[in-house]
């Protein structure tokens, strides 16, 4: 066993610290724990987990403090809002709303973007130029302005938010898939498929698409946190989901005038947003490291 002296302590501990950090980064327990118990599980079991109806309140219990503060009680562990609604119940149901918005927007945007990306990268030429100009237009649209225009035209609703998110998301998938397709279509197995008489649709569906799934999974995982943050911002500004939907952004907006006297009304929904987005970003980083062969072998 090597002798460790004071002079060699930094050189002794530094490699072990680096190894420990790498081990924690590759270990998905904490992101999956936060993701499961703060988003997926409460959203799936909201009627069984939530102690109260998120839409019903009692004015006699309005602005009750959290249980650990003076005037609080365990009946409402995180306190109540200005209408006497239980904040914990609304956060749990808000997880269901955020998850539903994210899944619908990402699936619809992913399908549209992946289809356009495959066609653009595979055929190239004028088709590629036209579709990429549509991608550039989509990426240049101002999010808040687009949402406000749609809200003014049709009113705030679930599908208004989905429309805004799909318009913003599909271009990201199209650009990613197009870049992957440009590289994959030049490989030998694609040339052999063409010689064998495979149609364009068959080549894109059977030979190119399976090779971009890993990248799509990573992007979708990272986009969930982005969508939740964007939906919360739109709801906060009044361009998202309508009241009294228990959305996290609306809950933060309801408490912005009470931040001094009743800080918990905005604080706990804001923490739910932060922890959920952080967990999803960590999970996306871990998936990228493990699904990318180049990073996995480092």
Q: Three-class SS string for 61-125?
A: HCCCCCCCCCCCCCCCCCCECCCCCEHHHHHHHHHHHHHHHHHHHHHHHHHHHHHHHHHHHHHCH
Contact (Cβ atoms closer than 8 angstroms) between residue 113 and residue 173: yes
Lowest mean pLDDT among 31-35, 157-161, 248-252: 31-35
Cβ atoms of 119 and 127 closer than 8 Å: yes
Cβ atoms within 10 A of the Cβ of 221, count? 22
In a domain, 58, yes or no: no
Model pLDDT for residues 63-97, shown as the tens digit of each residue:
888 888 877 788 888 888 888 888 888 998 988 88
Is residue 247 within 8 A of residue 229, CB to CB? The reply is no
Q: Contact at 8 Å (CB) between 189 and 211?
A: no
Show the domain range for 125. 29-50+80-296
The answer to the question of residue 104 being in a domain is yes
CB atoms within 10 A of CB 165: 26
Average pLDDT estimate for 22-46? 65
**Count of domains forming the chain:** 1
Residue 289 pLDDT more than 80?
A: no
Q: Token match 């959203």: residue?
A: 43
Residue 122: which CATH number?
1.10.3720.10
Label residue 221 by pLDDT band (50, 70, 90): confident
Q: By mean pLDDT, which of 4-18, 160-174, 209-223, 277-291 is the weakest? A: 4-18
Classify residue 15: in a domain, yes or no. no
In this structure, is residue 175 part of a structural domain? yes
In our burial notation (b when 16+ CB lie closer than 10 A, e otherwise), range 236-269 reads: bebbbbbeebbbbbbbbbbbeeeeeebebbbbbb
Report the sign of the C-alpha dihedral through residues 242, 244, 245, 249, in that order. Answer: positive
d(CA 254, CA 258): 8
Mean pLDDT for 266-286 is: 84
pLDDT of 139-155, one tens digit each?
A: 888 877 888 888 778 77
**Packing angle of the helix pair 87-123, 213-236 (nearest 10 deg):** 130
Percentage of the chain lying above the pLDDT 90 cut: 7
Long-range Cβ contact pairs of 258-261 (< 8 A, separation 24 or more) = 258/63, 258/82, 261/63
pTM of the model: 0.80
> Does 35 or 103 have the greater pLDDT score?
103
Task: Say yes or no to pLDDT of 296 above 80.
Answer: no
The pLDDT value recorded for residue 173 is 92
Give the pLDDT confidence score for residue 14 in this predicted structure: 42
Residue 38 reports pLDDT greater than 90: no
Separation of CA 80 from chain center: 27
Task: Give me the mean pLDDT over the 175-202 stretch.
Answer: 87
Specify if 7 maps to a domain.
no
pLDDT score recorded for residue 147: 80
- Domain assignment present for 205: yes
Q: Which of 32, 71, 172 is nearest to 116 (CA)?
A: 172
> Mean pLDDT of all residues in the chain?
80
Q: What percent of the chain is modeled with pLDDT above 70?
A: 85
Residue 12 included in any domain = no
pLDDT for 223-240, tens place per residue? 888 888 888 888 888 888
Tokens 């269901």: give the residue: 96
* DSSP H or E run through 236: helix 213-236
Which string of DSSP letters, residue by residue, matches 158-210? Answer: HHHHHHHHHHHHHHHHHHHHHHHHHHHTTSHHHHHHHHTT--HHHIIIIIIGG
Residue 24 counted as domain residue: no
């Amino acid at each position: 066993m090597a002798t460790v002296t004071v002079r060699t302590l930094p050189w002794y501990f530094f490699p072990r610290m680096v190894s420990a950090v790498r081990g924690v980064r590759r270990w998905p327990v904490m992101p999956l724990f936060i993701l499961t118990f703060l988003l997926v599980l409460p959203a799936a079991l909201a009627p069984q987990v939530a102690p109260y109806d998120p839409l019903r309140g009692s004015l006699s219990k309005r602005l009750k403090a959290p249980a650990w503060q003076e005037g609080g009680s365990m009946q409402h562990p995180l306190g109540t809002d200005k209408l006497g609604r239980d904040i914990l119940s609304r956060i749990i149901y808000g997880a269901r709303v955020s998850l539903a918005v994210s899944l619908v927007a990402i699936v619809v945007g992913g399908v549209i973007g992946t289809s356009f990306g495959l066609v653009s990268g595979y055929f190239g030429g004028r088709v590629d130029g036209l579709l990429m100009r549509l991608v550039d237009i989509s990426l240049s649209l101002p999010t808040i302005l687009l949402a406000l225009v749609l809200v003014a035209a049709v009113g705030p609703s679930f599908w208004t938010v989905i429309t805004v998110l799909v318009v913003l998301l599909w271009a990201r998938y199209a650009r990613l898939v197009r870049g992957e397709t440009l590289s994959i279509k030049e490989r030998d197995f694609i040339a052999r498929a063409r010689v064998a008489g495979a149609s364009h649709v068959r080549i894109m569906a059977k030979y190119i698409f399976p090779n971009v799934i890993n990248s799509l999974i990573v992007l979708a995982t990272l986009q969930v946190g982005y969508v939740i943050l964007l939906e919360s911002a739109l709801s906060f500004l009044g361009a998202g989901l309508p009241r009294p939907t228990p959305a996290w952004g609306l809950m933060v907006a309801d408490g912005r005038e009470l931040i001094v006297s009743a800080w918990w009304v905005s604080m706990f929904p804001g923490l739910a947003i932060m922890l959920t987005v952080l967990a999803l970003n960590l999970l996306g980083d871990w998936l990228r490291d493990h699904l990318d062969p180049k990073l996995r072998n480092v």
